Chains A and B, each alone.
Chain A
């Protein structure tokens, strides 16, 4: 696996690094991880992307990870030793799209693929439906690793990198004949609940226990944090108090409220089922960092030392970064492993499968993938 990092975050820098990676015969496919702050647009980047002769996929994130560094500018270009089968699933917010039918058509067989990268536009609102479709079709036959791309501005824009150029409101699937191990953990704990999700429109919670959602949520958060919500600080405060969807014998599935609607509704990253019960969670630095370390250990255990040369692929939720702030380096330390390359992305939601249970679209979760070099 050839990894190049361009710290300039420019198209020219990307081009240069890309050329260097492609010089290696080993590079049979390209993975590009770019920062939102690079300001890549279809206009300035598509020509470059369309000129690449090998299969290419990637995404633009609020931040990327290179070794033990969290970066908000720059681009990581990875030359993959295998030819990825890259497929684009469009219409990730379109209620009429049957994802199973599209996946069936585009990926009739897994062939020898062992790992699937799944990059989605993190601001699309049918991500869970896509994730369910993937699991309905492929089950546990393959390891899934990926997450939501996009901007912390929460403004939807082209953020998925393909040979066609930059895309938005879509998903990019890349199947690789490459062994992997995956670990998932978040470390958030319930502080109040359960609350019944009485009205929800996919990722927008309207009422909890038949009360306006913000009324219920705000009360708990303000009481717990001792701070008050204002017109400007919603996300700053909410990032520390996600919702947790119950799951038997497993960590709760976390949903972050990212915006407050005019009617008091809470816009979350990821869908919530109506009639489900949610808790309001909170975490502390230690539990989160501990969780990240556990995720790496789980991934390592799942990888089962199939290859001595490994690359750690760390997918961590941007909200964790925002929550941990300066302590985030400790999370990177917890995941990092000596003698292994580590790259990663800071996402708007994470997609992973622990190898034993249902595939989920997570929030505020640390996903560690270990890939064979």
Chain B
């Protein structure tokens, strides 16, 4: 038990230590004064403050101050440090603090004490020679608490200072202008702070604002917007937050747009409040908005006047429909905005649209086009060409759907299609009729032709000169008619698809011989030379349909003779190459004008000057030739010059019997 004097001395010392704690709000200064006094008064040789450092849920003790500064050479201090956990989970901290105070002794007989700084860390003191009295150690507890509180105050101040520094840095680094104005319930306005950025924003020196607080509202704010700004100040004066946009006239005369946003913080007594305001340059945004407005106006004008229906959907909800959409569907715009898209689509097309993901409304950026049927309000069906495209509409993903009413075009197409079907049918009936008629005509014609020839040959008795003349004309006309009927029959066969080609071996020479023997008489009659030539390179026998080939050649030769008044008709069979052979018929006739050449191969076409009446042709010859040639896989080529003559060349695939056998 200590005597009264000793107890008094202890109390005095503790008091002196206590008075030294918290003498400064600078952590280092405070710790220096406190720890120095503590160590001196307790006659200790070293001491240190270790604060809890937390990271990721784990804590350690960080030495923030010590006397002497380098405790690394103090063996007893190092021994004390060994009793501090290097790192531990935050939840274990309570257990560690419960073990404090910790004391220990070094081999040299020096002592250490680890004392708690509540919620903050520990204080280590080293005493050499003689240990601290346990009563003293116990008595230090209030000082430990005071020291902890003083440290916290310093740390808080440091944190505040850091925060303020950061705030100032932020304020000075941002382009926005910041101000702070205080209002009182009595309507008094005290401008507390104006950031240096005001200079950058307005181009005026900062002193202008600091020396004259009315400079901003009366000079810098655009005259047209000063009334608006005054309303804002009135709101602030009433303790209300306010955000407005107005124009500023910069020192150089340029006008900029700003957003002035003020937030009110009221004191606890509600009698005084501070407005923290930020003035941001929004000129660029305003310009963009203006551009967008103009762009939107153009779009709206276009959308409102265009003939196509325009819908904008988002999540199957119609966000926009134009007047054309109203007209096209029969629904009002309000009805369309509330309607499900699928109600507009004809049931027959819904599946197709869904399958094709056409109206997925998933904002695909690629566009798609389809023709669909849609339903009007009165259930009338209409055809529309529908196109979709993903767009951003008022900040959300949407689908732009345009529908162009193609009902009339569709109706025209349908009418045309029906007309075509009818025409095809009529053509087929005509072909059938022609085939039947031709067949029915040819049978009696053959009889007439045969009997007339027999009469000419005197089978039924001798004929007078006049009779001979008449018979000759009958035979000529009958032959002409028979030829015409045969052509009609061939054309009918071709048109009705009844021609079946055969592949038979034949000698090209026979082909030429067969035609010249028939056509030679006709040529001689007109005083023309009919000359033929066969290319020796042509195989003696080739494969093909000799009947139809003879028809082709005969047609060509017949036409050539028909249209040639003088000169010659030349038949030339040639081997063009390893793949093709050809027969060529040239005449010295009037030639075919270029405009006629374009349709010379169409059925029933003849050049006016060489009408069937004039030339005695049916107008079917070249059409038949072309059809047959193409059926055989060949092609026909026309080369004609008015006044010089015409050459028609039929080129056909060469299949010789020998080559086929070889294969």
Contacts and interface: CB of A to CB of B under 8 A. Distances in A.
Interface of A: 132, 135-141, 194, 246-250, 273-277, 355-358, 360
Nearest to A356: B128
A139 B12 contact: no
A139 B67 contact: yes
B129 A356 contact: yes
B143 to A, nearest CB: 13
A277 B15 contact: yes
B37 A356 contact: no
A139 B45 contact: yes
Given A246-B13, A248-B136, A273 B67 contact: no
A246 B130 contact: no
Contact of B32 (A136, A250, A356, A360): A136
Nearest to A137: B69
Contacts of B10: 248
Interface of B: 8-10, 12-13, 15-16, 19-20, 32, 36-37, 39-46, 67-71, 73-74, 128-130, 132-133, 136
Given A132-B36, A248-B136, A273-B20, A140 B45 contact: yes
A358 B45 CA distance: 5
Contacts of A141: 68, 70, 73
B37 to A, nearest CB: 7
Q: Which of B12, B39, B133 has the most CB of A within 10 A?
A: B12
Given A132-B36, A247-B43, A248-B41, A276 B128 contact: no
Nearest to A358: B40
A246 B20 CA distance: 15
Interface centre among A139, A140, A274 (most CB of B within 10 A): A139
Contact of A356 (B19, B45, B67, B136): B45
A136 B43 contact: no
Given A136-B36, A140-B45, A356-B128, 13 more contacts: A139-B46, A139-B67, A140-B74, A194-B12, A246-B9, A247-B41, A274-B19, A275-B15, A275-B19, A276-B19, A358-B39, A358-B40, A358-B44
User: Top 6 nearest A-B pairs by Cβ distance?
Assistant: A139-B68, A275-B19, A356-B128, A277-B12, A250-B43, A356-B129
Contacts of B136: 248
A268 B197 CA distance: 55
Contact of B43 (A194, A249, A273): A249
Contact of B16 (A132, A139, A276): A276
Nearest to A247: B43
A273 B133 CA distance: 24
Given A136-B69, A141-B73, A357-B128, A273 B16 contact: yes
Contacts of A136: 32, 36, 67-69
A274 B9 CA distance: 17
A231 B67 CA distance: 44
Contacts of A249: 42-43, 130, 133
Given A136-B67, A137-B68, A357 B44 contact: yes
Given A273-B16, A356-B45, A140 B40 contact: no
Contacts of B20: 273, 275
Q: Which of B9, B15, B40 has the most CB of A within 10 A?
A: B40
A240 to B, nearest CB: 23
B135 to A, nearest CB: 11
A294 to B, nearest CB: 15
Given A139-B67, A139-B74, A194 B39 contact: no
Contacts of A274: 19
22 contacts: A135-B67, A137-B68, A139-B68, A139-B74, A140-B74, A194-B8, A194-B12, A246-B9, A246-B12, A247-B40, A248-B136, A249-B130, A273-B16, A273-B37, A275-B15, A275-B16, A276-B19, A357-B43, A357-B44, A358-B40, A358-B45, A360-B40
Nearest to A193: B12
Given A137-B68, A140-B46, A246 B41 contact: yes
Nearest to B39: A358
A25 to B, nearest CB: 34
A99 B9 CA distance: 32
A245 to B, nearest CB: 9
B420 to A, nearest CB: 107
